[in-house]
Every structure is written in C-alpha cells, then in structure tokens.
Structure 1
Amino acid sequence: MKFKVEVRTIILENYDTGILPHMLVSIGCLLFVFHIIGAKISNDCGHAESRRTFHNMMMCFIVLLAAMSIVLIAGGSMCFAHRNFLGDAFKKGLLSSMKLYKENETVKEMIDRTQLEFRCCGSTSYKDWFEVSWINGEDINMEHPDVQSNLKHGNYYGDDVPFSCCRINSSRPCIFHKWLIIILLRHLQTSINEAIEEGDPEGGGDAYCFSQAPCYTIL
C-alpha cells in the first residue's frame, strides 16, 4: 500500500501514509509468531506426557491472541478511515495536477498512467477536463475561429479529453483533440503520393483517408 501510494505522491495533495503501513506489517509479523507458538502449545497439549507443562500456557496464549485481535480490529478501522482521507487527497491533488498537464511532463506522464491503469477520466468525471486548459497552444491553430471561440484569458478550453481517457475495449473510436490532426495529416500524405504518381510532385493531388472512401479533397 505504501509503495502504491508513494509512487503517486505527485498527484496527491497533503497526504502522508503515516505509521499505518508499518503498523499493519508489525501486526502481521506478530500474528505469524503468535500462531507458531500457538501451534506448538496446542500440539504439546495433545500428548499426555507434555500436557502438564504446556496446558497452563494455553490461557496466557488465548489472552495474548485476544489482545492481538483487538489491535487487528483497530488496524482495520484505521484502514477504513484512511481510505476516505486518501480519497480526498487524491481528488484534490488530481484536480490541481490537471492544471499542470500541459506544462509538466512528469505530471502528465503520471496522470496518463493513472487514468490508463485504473480506467478513469478526471477526478470526479471526464467533464473535469472541460474546466482545465490542458492543451498546449503549440499543438493547435490559435488563429482558427473554433479555437478563438474557446479562448479564455489566452488559454484554450475545449470539450475533449486526453488520450489516456480512452477505453481500450470500447467498440467505438475514441475521439480526442489530436484525432483531427491525424485526419489532416492522412489527407496531406495521400495528396502528396497522388501528385507524385501523376508525375507532378509540386501539383495538387487527391486527398483521402481511405482509398475506397466516396469523398475526396484536392490539396
């Protein structure tokens, strides 16, 4: 648990694992030792020749085991309470980290990895990305009318999400802001190929996404 949390501290806000992981490991080790001792006592009490020596230890062992059970319940309660604390830290931290998505490569990588691993999108929902300017201005045409209409204080706010929000097993294509770029690049590539094949590399050529598609564009 400590390892899983600490590798994501960059997207957690005001969170500290504290003594909980050490406490749980300690309880586990103690229970392991106690049960070995209990097995020894129980085995020796099963034989008449050794019963007299170990049967008085049985009550002490039961008391110690009951005490350990109380500690174990306390550890479980701490885990339950810690879950809510971790959830709040993750929610606030992810919202803050999303604002750094386009500027900090380390934060971007961690958010993408987290969304892909846990198949999630945003902090509470995918709409959280609509409130964040997460697209770098260098990746889009800032002079385009559609882009201009979504500019606020010089930053672009769109209704799309990063690629890591896409579901791998989805039966439909996942659309995000770079999808349009892929289509345009495909049109440019096919247009260049068509122009070369027609013997006029500097001229225009038919552009398309798929050769069997009914719509063509001259570029």
Structure 2
Amino acid sequence: MAVLKVTFTKTKRGKLAQALWFLNWVSVVTGILLLSLGLFLKVEIQKQRELMSEREVHTMPDVLIAVGLAACGINFLGGKMCGEGADVAAFLRWKALMLPYIAGTFCFTFCLLAGALLCHAMRGELEESLSQGLRDAMCSYKDTDTPGRCSLKRAVDMLQIQFQCCGNAGFRDWFQVQWVSNHYLDVSSAEVADRLRSNVEGKYLMDWVPFSCCNLNSPRPCIQHQITNNSAHFNYDHRTDNLNLWMGGCRQALLNYYTQIMHSIGSIVLLIWLFELSVLTGVRYLQTSMENVLRQGDPESESDGWLLENSFAETARYNFNIIKNLGKCYQGDEDDDPNINVPTSVQCSPENVPSKQISLALAS
C-alpha cells in the first residue's frame, strides 16, 4: 500500500511543478546563505586560531561551505527539472535524472540535518579546544623572539582587552606560568635568582598579571603586581571584589561567543533543512504522479502520487535484501578460496539485481 498517496489532476500537477520551480530557486538562495554562514564562521574561528588547539571544531566551517555549494548545484538542477516537469514530453527528457536527483537530494538533506545538530553539539569540543589552546598560548606568552610564537603575546593581549577577560579560567592562571621572558630578568639580582631556584622547574613565577588584564572601568590605577600582597598597596584587600582586573576567564568568554554563533547558525540550518525536505517531498510527488501518467498513456487524466510505493516495512525489507545480495555477490567475486562454497540461492547475475530496481529502491 502506497504511503501518503495523493491524487493529482493535470491542473494540480502544473501548479505543483510551478511551485517547485520557484521553491528550488529560493533554495539556491538558501545555499548561498549557507555558504556565507560557513565563510563567516571560518573567518571568526581564524581570528582566534592561534588560541585554539587543532580539533574537529575547525572542520565545521568547511562542512557548511561544502553543503552550501552542494545546495546551489542541486537546487539549480531541481529548478530546471521542475520548470518543465508537468509536461509529458519534457518529463521524458528528465526522467532518467529524476531518481538519482531524488536520492542525491535525500542524502543532501540528511547532511543538512547532521550539520544543524553538529552546530548544537560542538560545545564540548569547542571548550576543550579553547582550554588547551589558551593554556599553550599563555605558556608561550614570553616567547616573543621564537619563530612561530612571536605573535602569541599580541594575540593574548588583544583577546583579554577585546573580551574583557583574564587568563584561562581566571586571573590566577597567570600565577602558574612564567610569562616574563628571561631577557627581561636581572638574573644577577639575589631576589630574582632566589625566586628561580625556589619555583617549580626553575620558572620565574609571581602573583603578577599582564597589563591587558586591567579593568578599564576601574577608578584606581591598575594593580597588576603583587596582587595577593595587601601590604604592598594602600587601601587594598585582594579578597574583596574590588580588584581592578577582569574577573572572568577567557575560555568562558570565547566559549559563550562561539556557542552563540554556532547555535544561531544551527537554528538557521535546521530551518533550511525543513524547507529542503518540503521541496524534496514535492519533487517526489511530481515524479511519481508523472510516471503514473506515462503508464496510463493519457496526459489529461488524473494520476496518483506518493512518497513510497509500498509501506515503510516493505520498502526497508526490499532495500535490505538488495544490499544483502549485493554484499554476497561482492564477497563471492573477491574470495578466491575454492573450499568456500557460495550458496546457490545467491545469484549475482544482472537479472537478479537490475539497476532499475536498485535506483527505485534508493529513491524510495
């Protein structure tokens, strides 16, 4: 029994074809939108690429760009086919491409859905990438004369100023790394030598933070040296909330920024997926109704259109049997061991798995 069967008159088939022609060209515009969103996300991630570790988050913009280009190509072809789809003579010219087009569009809509869900599920990967990247960048903050790292100081300072944050999780992260280069330390000084000997791995650790951690809205001059030493500053208590530093960590600030972007893009992609799914449904109805017109031989007659010619269970069973037979045939062709007997019930001839049936199964 056909699934969601609808009866179309000649007039309804013409209106459906015209509507699908328009919707496919609208879908070309949505493909350009996807491409633009991918380029925008790629630029935004590229801005902070030095502060992120190499993870799957960098592939997300490329996925959007590829899906956008595919949307433009698929919907351009769909617009050409549907513009002439209600005419029997024109349908005969496109008939051979209809099934591959529907199968390809179905795979494309699946990729769209996967992309939308991926945008909403990348928070964990993004947080790990930012945490590791910021940790490495802070450790290389002092390496201004090392090739490949000389720009990290500027990148970290600009990040802390722009996003009003300090450190990875907070300003105390700077206490655990040596962020002052040895070029600017007087190692002949007893105080500096003493600190280098007493700290872990001979590092110059101190309760100081870079200038970029200073809160620009603070009414008093920035206290970035001896932050935990109350006696070193007048009218100062480091345990209060009056510290004139940015209190939030840069990891959380960047995470919120990119999460908001990805969630917005994911919602847009989800809406585009629903739109593309409706277009695909309409094309399927047009294709099946026109094929029934050809079977009846009367272009003026009514015809039935459906999503699946058989029920979901029958279609799934039919497709599974085809895939299973193809797998057995492939195994029989590849296996050269004469002791292994292929069951005689498995026939690998073209008559057993005709290409037309395979195409119909994939389209269903």
TM-score interval (norm. to shorter): 0.5 to 0.7
- What amino acid does structure 1 have at the position aligned with 2:169? T
Conserved in 1, the CA contact under 8 Å of 2:164 and 2:215?
yes
Moved more, 113-122 or 130-139: 130-139
* Other-structure match for 1:177: 224
User: Within 1, Cα distance between the matches of 2:223 and 2:76?
Assistant: 57
Q: Of 133, 148, 155, which residue of structure 1 is paired with 2:204?
A: 155
Q: 1:174 to 1:131 in 2, by over 3 A?
A: farther
CA apart distance, 1:71: 1.0
Please tell me whether residue 38 in structure 1 is matched to residue 83 in structure 2. no
Higher mean C-alpha deviation, range 103-112 or range 76-85? 76-85
Map 1:56-75 → 2, pairs under 5 A: 60=99, 63-75=103-115
Aligned to 1:118: 163
2:204 maps to a residue whose letter is N
Q: Is the 8 A contact 1:162 1:176 kept in 2?
A: no
Sort the Cα spacing of 1:122 and 1:67 in 2 relative to 1 into closer, same or farther, 3 A.
same
How many corresponding residue pairs? 169
Look up the equivalent residue of 1:175 and give its one-letter code.
C
**Equivalence for 2:133:** 93
Do structure 1's residue 132 and structure 2's residue 177 form an aligned pair? yes
Q: 1:23 aligns with which of 42, 63, 67?
A: 63
How far apart are residue 28 of structure 1 and its match? Answer: 0.7
Contact 1:95 1:123 in 2 (8 A): yes
Letter aligned with residue 114 of structure 1 = L
Aligned twin of 2:260 = none
Q: State the Cα distance separating 1:124 from its structure 2 match.
A: 1.6
Q: Is the 8 A contact 1:2 1:17 kept in 2?
A: no
- The residue number in structure 2 matching 1:76 is 116
CA deviations over 1:37-96 (Å, ceiling 9, x no partner):
333444445xxxx53334986974555433211111222334445442232122122113
Counterpart-to-counterpart distance in 2, 1:39 and 1:139: 69
Say whether residues 1:103 and 2:143 are aligned partners: yes
Contact 2:160 2:213 in 1 (8 A): yes
**TM-score normalised by the chain length of structure 1:** 0.56
Q: Deviations over 1:82-111 (max 9, x none)?
A: 442232122122113212222334221121
TM-score (norm 2): 0.37
1:100 and 1:134 in contact (8 A); partners too: yes
Higher RCO (CA < 8 A, seq sep 6+): 2
Cα shift readout 1:144-191 (whole Å, capped 9, x = no counterpart): 8xx97xx73562411x432223445x363561437xxxxxxxxxxxxx
Q: What SS does structure 2 have at the residue aligned with 1:155?
A: coil
Provide the alpha-carbon RMSD of the alignment. 4.0
Matched, 1:11 2:51: yes
Provide the C-alpha distance between the structure 1 equivalents of 2:167 and 2:64, rounded to a whole number of angstroms: 31
In the alignment, structure 2 segments of 5+ residues that lack a partner are 1-40, 145-149, 226-364
Note the C-alpha offset of 1:20. Answer: 4.3
Paired position in structure 1 for 2:87 = 51
Equivalent position amino acid for 1:155 in 2: Y
Identity percentage of aligned residues: 24
Change (3 A) 1:13 1:51: same
